[in-house]
A and B are shown apart, each in its own frame.
Chain A
Amino acid sequence: MIELIEVSKTYLLGKDQQVQAVKPTNLQIQSGEFVVITGRSGSGKTTLLNLIAGLTRPTSGSVLLDGHDLWSLSDKEQSLLRNQTVGFIFQFPSLLPSLRVLDNVVLPTIFEESGAVSNEKYARAKELLATVGLSDKLRAYPRQLSAGQQQRVVIARALLNQPKLLLADEPTSNLDEQTETEIMELFRQIHTTTGITMVMVTHTSQLVRYGTRAISMAMGQVLNSGD
């Protein structure tokens, strides 16, 4: 499903200053796995997730998603691949404040070839919102929801296009303990029922129990790939 070959990422901080966020890394993630990447702040785990998602260009190496070298694709091809194959859950509130919940969920559809949202997509969005327990919030705006409810909407949005890969970056970091458990249980349920490949980044090592494989990182290096 995902293969990282000698992938590294270096950020330039100034003229002469640079920091290697991810050191040359080889990693393979198979279909159906639920990989939990742990590490302290600044360990490079979010950068690694961004590299997997094609959200940042590696300084060296190749990222293969379903056999496609992400950086040999055009912007349009890469965006379409992300749209159709990958679902994202971010650490920060990522719903568009000006859109209602239902419109936020169908948002990825407007970037498809047709550019418009079909009735089928709206039906699927409603179904997904029901799955995450928010069928009564279709017309609400994000500001009218709690942090936990907003994250559920984000999960529904991530699943809209039935992606093969779900990437989550610290999805519970802004939530209280009870909501964190609810969200993680939801992830486990999604993984079990759909068999989707999931990669989650967290600094909370206790959450590795939800995954099928744990990877730990420190100083930009994968210490334990859990193979």
Chain B
Amino acid sequence: MNLNLLAWNNIRGSAFRSLVVALSALLVASFAVSTTMIMRGAENSLRLALERLGADILVVPQGAEASAETALLMGVPAEMWMPQSNLEAIAAIPGVEKVSPQIYLTTLEDAACCSAPNMFLVVFDPATDFTITPWLKQNVGGELKLGEVVGGHYVFTPEGAENILIYGYFVTLVANMEPTGTGLDQTMFFTLETARDISRISFSRAVTPLVIPENQVSAIMVKVAEDAVPSEVAIDILQNVPNVTPIESPNMFQAYRKQMSGLLSTVLVVMGITWLLSFVLIGLVFSMAANERRREIGVLRALGATRGHVLRSLLAEAGILALVGGSSGVLLAALGIFIFRKTIVESVGVPFIFPSLPSLLLQIGAGVALTLVSVTLAALLPAYRISRMEPSSAMRE
């Protein structure tokens, strides 16, 4: 028997009160951790997507900025075209080190000739590409051959099949990229040579042929020289190349960042209200409990408990309940997010990647710590007041 065991016995002895406090702690912890996890997951997702794109500036046809970002972030296929001649025009701009074209395509939906329906396809030119090719060299050990594709993290070959069927053409999945939590995870990447072959075959084997307009590209990836300023290069592109929009890497996905920022403000307000209500509720419960137990506390004082003992015992109760409720809350939140992450992405409309183990542990630890501090603070005033009471007054009905 010791002071902590006494606190534990009091918790067991007042099941309903303990349940209310633990549930409040669970609410605070789960809400704090789930919102932090979603917001951080979305931030990380954007960061990884930018890293994966690997360009300082993405040039798209004027007016196609939103659909390009939606395609890259959320995997919603988009087709956009601009003259290939823009490539030379951009390459000629001072400060531009490398340029490489990309073509964005989509597989057919509900067609027997496509085993992966409505999938976003990114075609790149291995001769000039500086975004996917380095990854291929590092992870596949070379370049993609004709008919080979590399997939985002969640692209897979259908069960029982050896290849993926696109427009009646069999492609071989040679590798999957690391997850980003964005639409890039459901995107397939292949070379211009493969794309042209698919297009050729599709005319005889697909329900609808894959048409790649001649001398047209969807987007141009730009790498800026080390001594150049990306924003100045972007302005030059805007001024010298007609009907295009250059998007600087830090400004990419602005619409999503704004959406996230709005979401964050709402979440912070709701979280603040939840925290405040829980704080008041826990304070009230502890105040009532302290009042109910006045006589018991008076007896403990008579038996030799100091004011410090009483305070410590009551705060230990609060601490235990915070730990139990808080730990359950953060684990439930993490589990819930892990299970329902697809639904969350769809309903919230932002990309999301589940945190790495160290980051997850850090967020769980922070959530439990926040709950511990909140519950202890809420219990502090009633515990302090009762501990300062004269024993005889405490014992009086």
A binding-site residues for B, Cβ under 8 Å: 47, 50, 53, 55-57, 75-76, 79-80, 82-84, 88, 90, 92, 94, 96-99, 103, 106-112, 115-117, 157
State which of B295, B296, B298, B309 has its C-beta within 8 Å of the C-beta of A111.
Answer: B309
B306, CB-defined interface residue at 8 Å: yes
Residue contacts A-B, CB under 8 angstroms, 22 given: A47-B392, A50-B392, A53-B302, A55-B392, A56-B391, A75-B307, A79-B306, A80-B304, A82-B302, A83-B303, A88-B299, A92-B295, A94-B295, A96-B296, A96-B299, A99-B6, A106-B1, A110-B6, A111-B303, A111-B306, A116-B1, A116-B2
Indicate if the CB atoms of B1 and A109 lie closer than 8 Å. Answer: yes
- Encode B246-264 as 1/0 by CB contact (under 8 A) with A: 0000000000000000000
Indicate if the CB atoms of A55 and B302 lie closer than 8 Å. Answer: yes
Indicate if the CB atoms of A96 and B9 lie closer than 8 Å. Answer: yes
Of B10, B301, B302, B392, the most chain A CB neighbours within 10 A belong to B302
On chain A, the residues within 8 Å of B295 by CB distance are 92, 94
Indicate if the CB atoms of B1 and A88 lie closer than 8 Å. Answer: no
Indicate if the CB atoms of B299 and A90 lie closer than 8 Å. Answer: yes
Number of B residues near A (Cβ < 8 Å) is 27
Q: How far is the CA of A82 from the CA of B392 in the complex (A)?
A: 14
Indicate if the CB atoms of A79 and B1 lie closer than 8 Å. Answer: no
Indicate if the CB atoms of B303 and A88 lie closer than 8 Å. Answer: yes
A88 nearest in chain B by CB position = B302
State which of A47, A79, A94, A97 has its C-beta within 8 Å of the C-beta of B305.
Answer: A79
Q: How far is the CB of B383 from chain A (nearest CB, A)?
A: 16
- Encode B286-302 as 1/0 by CB contact (under 8 A) with A: 00000000011011111
Q: How far is the CB of B82 from chain A (nearest CB, A)?
A: 76
A114 nearest in chain B by CB position = B2
On chain B, the residues within 8 Å of A79 by CB distance are 301, 304-306, 309
Q: How far is the CB of B390 from chain A (nearest CB, A)?
A: 5
Given that A56-B393, A96-B9, A98-B12 are known contacts, is A82 also in contact with B2, CB under 8 Å in the complex?
Answer: no
Q: How far is the CA of A121 from the CA of B1 in the complex (A)?
A: 11
User: In the complex, given contacts A53-B302, A99-B9, A111-B306, what are 17 additional A-B residue pairs having Cβ atoms less than 8 angstroms apart?
Assistant: A55-B298, A56-B393, A79-B301, A79-B304, A82-B303, A82-B304, A83-B304, A88-B303, A90-B299, A98-B9, A107-B6, A110-B2, A110-B3, A111-B300, A111-B305, A117-B1, A157-B303
Indicate if the CB atoms of B304 and A97 lie closer than 8 Å. Answer: no
Q: How far is the CB of A96 from chain B (nearest CB, A)?
A: 6
- Encode B3-15 as 1/0 by CB contact (under 8 A) with A: 1001001101100
Indicate if the CB atoms of A55 and B301 lie closer than 8 Å. Answer: yes
Closest 7 A/B residue pairs (Cβ): A83-B304, A98-B13, A56-B392, A111-B304, A98-B9, A55-B391, A50-B392
On chain A, the residues within 8 Å of B10 by CB distance are 98
Q: How far is the CB of B304 from chain A (nearest CB, A)?
A: 2
Q: How far is the CA of A21 from the CA of B295 in the complex (A)?
A: 20
Indicate if the CB atoms of A112 and B304 lie closer than 8 Å. Answer: yes
Indicate if the CB atoms of A108 and B395 lie closer than 8 Å. Answer: no
Q: How far is the CA of A76 from the CA of B310 in the complex (A)?
A: 12
Of B305, B309, B392, the most chain A CB neighbours within 10 A belong to B392
Q: How far is the CB of A222 from chain B (nearest CB, A)?
A: 19
B308, CB-defined interface residue at 8 Å: yes
Q: How far is the CA of A100 from the CA of B308 in the complex (A)?
A: 24
Q: How far is the CB of A190 from chain B (nearest CB, A)?
A: 18
Q: How far is the CB of B9 from chain A (nearest CB, A)?
A: 4
Given that A75-B306, A111-B305 are known contacts, is A57 also in contact with B390, CB under 8 Å in the complex?
Answer: yes
A157 nearest in chain B by CB position = B303
State which of B12, B296, B390 has its C-beta within 8 Å of the C-beta of A55.
Answer: B390
B3 nearest in chain A by CB position = A110
On chain A, the residues within 8 Å of B305 by CB distance are 79, 111
Indicate if the CB atoms of B2 and A117 lie closer than 8 Å. Answer: yes
Q: How far is the CB of A97 from chain B (nearest CB, A)?
A: 6
